[in-house]
Chains A and B, each alone.
Chain A
Amino acid sequence: MQLEIKNIEKSFGSKNVLSGINFTFEQGKIYGLLGRNGAGKTTLFNCLSGEMEPDNGQAFLIGEDGHKAVLAPEKIGYVYATPVLPEFLTGYEFIKFYMDINKEHLLPGKTADDYLELVQINQDDRHRLIKGYSYGMKNKLQMLCFLISKPPVMLLDEPLTSLDVVVALEMKKLLREMKQDHILLFSTHILQLATDLCDEIVLLNNGTLEQIDHSMIHEPTFEENIISLLKDESKS
């Protein structure tokens, strides 16, 4: 399975944020989308997920059988930097509702409690309003949604940036376990996170995407190289 992005453009007023994005992402890999603040990472994700209409271009999903279809919103799981969940429900109720909606994707015999067990949300917390959840718990709940619905493409917008070390580690483990069946795009402006978790690094700079040579990732001078790349390109 592949995600093919073709010539996506987006500008706000006179500011050109995405100027012709062309790229193909593959299943089984975690892609780290690296860019400076304001480079357009969230804009790209919003264009892919259908929250925003791109000015130009399209994205396609190419199946294992070679069948190519326009990327539909329901094929995407979007994990936001700040989790968005209906706060009047308890964690248990939300997962039960989410399971009802995504019946066709459920693993046979799994209950809401089984799923909540998976992301280690304990019995007491399950029956509290999401409104009172900590940031980490909300994040886990949001990830759980995508463990349930298994969308082929997952966009993660700086999801680990503000999590504590324990939850961040749990999430990383979860992502590594999930990657075989998904195309994972992980946006961050923290270089360490990208090198630590991702199989490939893609730079978003000056409105275009550029893949970094895989062999560079584990070189000692990698960090400096990336920084000089980001600096040079923003000057040009």
Chain B
Amino acid sequence: MMIDTQKIIFKIMASTNANRLIYYFKRIPFLGRLLPERIYRNLALKKNAAILAFILKVIRKVMGDALMIAILLVVPVCLLETNQNGRYAEYLHVFLMINAIAPFLTSSIFNANRDQYICIQLMHINAKDYIVSTVLLHEIGDIFYLLPSVLFATVWMGGTLLHGFLLTALLVGFSLIGETFFLLFYCKTNIMLNKKAQFVVPVGILCLASAYIPLVLHRPLPLENLLFHPLFLILMLALCTGCVLIILRCNQYHKIASKNLKAFKFMLNGDEILAKAEFDDVALKEKNFSKSDLQSKKFEKKKGFAYLNAIFFERHKLLLVKPVLIRIVCIAILWVAAVIASHFIPDFADKFSNANAILPLFVFVMYFLSLGERICKAMFLNCDISLLRYPFYREKNAILSNFKVRLFEIAKLNFVVAFAVSAAVLGLALVCRLNWPTSSMLLFVLSIFSLSLLFSIHHLFLYYVFQPFTAELGMKNPFYSIIHYAVFFLCYLCTKIKSPPSFFTLTVLAVTLIYMVAAVILVYKLAPKNFRVK
């Protein structure tokens, strides 16, 4: 039964994946034209495309798992433990802590995705058959995907091949226990625990802390004898068998599937689900507004685009103010940590003794702290996607005046963050008695604010000129991504600059000014053509 279900699912997915592969290949400039439209009808070729898509998936999985093991296990152990002999014990410690605790962070049973939507909602495959067979197959598949990298890492760290095999099996066993835990919890309480931040965040912190703190202190748990002890292995086997039985016997899958898919806010078109999920964090919720909020004529005196944007930013206040608050809290925590550190580490403050040296680093910091893409997404989904259908909204002057109002609003939010950064850094300088000259302080603050303005312009400018979001896929324009990476790289390069602060501030000011003028001109010239629903 399960195998039949998986065969059907495999066929559906093979066909979907082949179509998707062909679809994306056709979108590659020049090359895409080589494939004619009728290619979708060529079943033999599609079979090959499905096989290719499957091979690509396997390669992606194996590489992904190898990368994960390298980043989480091998690299930290090698970096922190220079003594070759101690490495294996530390590797085993980190391996156990990460793999035994991380399964309590995510669950594939409670994770709705496009495949689940297609199979259960559209193809009417029995929810229990689908979920159970997919989860079990997922676990079995993981053995094969993980085996090469775990074997390699274990042997490289000083273990044996047998240990590598056993560790792979343990890893999958832990993941099965995690799935069963979430399932049992749901059956008892009706709560999807993997979606509760108050559970996931502490578990995540516990996972990282228990894995890496002993590593830093060179005090790994002596696990070699425990992990490979026959009794422990038999116990794990019994536990996993129990888990499989629980998963097979549970009868709540229909409820789980409908809850999963409802949470997904799906639409009829399979691909739109993904877009919706991506946009979900910027969507507007009606229940957040009271009747008096909606009736108030607070902005009645404003006109046109100023009126529109005033209401837009008012209604999205929750969505926009939250990230600002999170940033301020993070800055505050870092500030307190830095003050404490400066007390205990004698030469800590020396690094900040010169405003000159740290200023370029703040280009990078401000790049990360400035809000932009999320606001642009919200603007697109909740406002522009509909209004762009009206010709008046696409007129040059309308676009420009809308751009200016929005730039002002985004800059306002980013200035709050800029203020927090300036206050934190100057405060730290005062607490550590660094005696920065007033001129340095002023130049510092001026630089931070103009960087903040620069990045506000940057995000909005890219949105207007490239309009990277699409109504269906939320896919990005390649040029948009290229420019984003280029700017990221430039910001990174700035961390290498060594120049007097006055010169640096002047450069930032000049770049901001030039960018602003160029943005306004380019938006006026290019946006009427590019700023539309694609």
Residues of A within 8 A of B (CB): 13-15, 49-51, 72-74, 76, 78, 80, 84-90, 93, 96-97, 100-102, 127-129, 131-132, 145, 149
Instruction: Name A129's contact: one of B289, B307, B391 (CB within 8 Å).
Output: B289
B37 engages A93 (CB within 8 Å): no
Is B343 at the interface (CB under 8 A from chain A)? no
B304 engages A132 (CB within 8 Å): no
Given contacts A80-B389, A84-B389, A97-B308, 12 further A-B contacts (CB under 8 A): A13-B37, A74-B392, A78-B389, A86-B383, A89-B311, A90-B294, A96-B307, A97-B307, A101-B392, A102-B392, A129-B284, A129-B294
List residues of chain A with CB within 8 A of the CB of B472: none
Residues of B within 8 A of A (CB): 36-37, 284, 286, 289, 291, 294-295, 300, 303-304, 307-308, 311-312, 315-316, 382-383, 385-387, 389-392, 394-395, 398, 532
A87 engages B303 (CB within 8 Å): no
A129 engages B286 (CB within 8 Å): yes
Q: Taking CB as reference atom, which chain A residue is nearest B393?
A: A101
A84–B284 alpha-carbon span in the complex (Å) = 16
A26–B480 alpha-carbon span in the complex (Å) = 45
List residues of chain A with CB within 8 A of the CB of B284: 87-88, 129, 131
Between-chain CB contacts (< 8 Å), 24 pairs: A14-B36, A14-B37, A50-B391, A51-B532, A72-B391, A74-B395, A76-B391, A78-B389, A85-B386, A87-B386, A88-B284, A88-B312, A88-B316, A93-B307, A97-B308, A100-B307, A101-B304, A101-B398, A127-B294, A127-B295, A131-B286, A132-B286, A145-B390, A149-B392
A86 engages B392 (CB within 8 Å): no
A14-B36, A15-B37, A129-B286 known; A88+B383 contact, CB < 8 A: yes
Q: How far is the CB of A77 from chain B (nearest CB, A)?
A: 9
A88 engages B36 (CB within 8 Å): no
Q: Taking CB as reference atom, which chain B residue is nearest A96?
A: B307
Q: How far is the CB of B302 from chain A (nearest CB, A)?
A: 9
Q: Taking CB as reference atom, which chain A residue is nearest B392?
A: A101
A84-B386, A88-B315, A129-B289 known; A73+B391 contact, CB < 8 A: yes
A74 engages B391 (CB within 8 Å): yes
A86 engages B386 (CB within 8 Å): yes
Interface centre among A73, A88, A102, A127 (most CB of B within 10 A): A88
Interface centre among A14, A84, A102 (most CB of B within 10 A): A84
A80–B387 alpha-carbon span in the complex (Å) = 12
Q: How far is the CB of A5 from chain B (nearest CB, A)?
A: 18
Interface centre among B316, B383, B391 (most CB of A within 10 A): B391
Interface centre among A74, A76, A89 (most CB of B within 10 A): A89
A78–B392 alpha-carbon span in the complex (Å) = 12
A7–B83 alpha-carbon span in the complex (Å) = 80
A128 engages B37 (CB within 8 Å): no
List residues of chain A with CB within 8 A of the CB of B392: 74, 101-102, 149
Q: How far is the CB of B312 from chain A (nearest CB, A)?
A: 6
Interface centre among A50, A100, A101, A128 (most CB of B within 10 A): A101
A50–B286 alpha-carbon span in the complex (Å) = 33
Q: Binding site of B, secondary structure by majority: helix, strand, loop or mixed?
A: helix
Q: Taking CB as reference atom, which chain B residue is nearest A124?
A: B291
Instruction: Name B382's contact: one of A72, A87, A132 (CB within 8 Å).
Output: A87
List residues of chain A with CB within 8 A of the CB of B385: 84
B395 engages A97 (CB within 8 Å): no
A90–B308 alpha-carbon span in the complex (Å) = 11
Q: Taking CB as reference atom, which chain B residue is nearest A97?
A: B308
Question: Which 3 pairs between the two chains have the least Cβ-Cβ distance?
Answer: A73-B391, A100-B304, A84-B386
A88–B382 alpha-carbon span in the complex (Å) = 6
A100–B306 alpha-carbon span in the complex (Å) = 10
A73–B398 alpha-carbon span in the complex (Å) = 14
List residues of chain A with CB within 8 A of the CB of B294: 90, 127-129
Q: How far is the CB of B462 from chain A (nearest CB, A)?
A: 22
A14-B37, A128-B294 known; A100+B303 contact, CB < 8 A: yes
A50–B392 alpha-carbon span in the complex (Å) = 12
A127 engages B291 (CB within 8 Å): yes
A92–B391 alpha-carbon span in the complex (Å) = 21
List residues of chain B with CB within 8 A of the CB of A127: 291, 294-295
Q: How far is the CB of A157 from chain B (nearest CB, A)?
A: 11
Q: How far is the CB of A155 from chain B (nearest CB, A)?
A: 12
List residues of chain A with CB within 8 A of the CB of B389: 51, 78, 80, 84
A11–B304 alpha-carbon span in the complex (Å) = 38
List residues of chain A with CB within 8 A of the CB of B286: 129, 131-132
Q: Taking CB as reference atom, which chain A residue is nearest B33?
A: A13
List residues of chain A with CB within 8 A of the CB of B315: 88
Q: How far is the CB of B473 from chain A (nearest CB, A)?
A: 18
A72–B385 alpha-carbon span in the complex (Å) = 21
Q: Taking CB as reference atom, which chain B residue is nearest A80?
A: B389
A221–B308 alpha-carbon span in the complex (Å) = 52
A127–B286 alpha-carbon span in the complex (Å) = 12
A69–B203 alpha-carbon span in the complex (Å) = 68
List residues of chain B with CB within 8 A of the CB of A128: 294
Q: How far is the CB of A59 from chain B (nearest CB, A)?
A: 14
B304 engages A93 (CB within 8 Å): no
List residues of chain B with CB within 8 A of the CB of A131: 284, 286
List residues of chain B with CB within 8 A of the CB of A87: 284, 382, 386
Q: How far is the CB of B291 from chain A (nearest CB, A)?
A: 7
Interface centre among B284, B286, B291, B308 (most CB of A within 10 A): B308
Q: How far is the CB of A79 from chain B (nearest CB, A)?
A: 10
Instruction: Name B391's contact: one of A13, A49, A80, A85 (CB within 8 Å).
Output: A49
Q: How far is the CB of B404 from chain A (nearest CB, A)?
A: 16
A93–B296 alpha-carbon span in the complex (Å) = 10
A191–B392 alpha-carbon span in the complex (Å) = 33
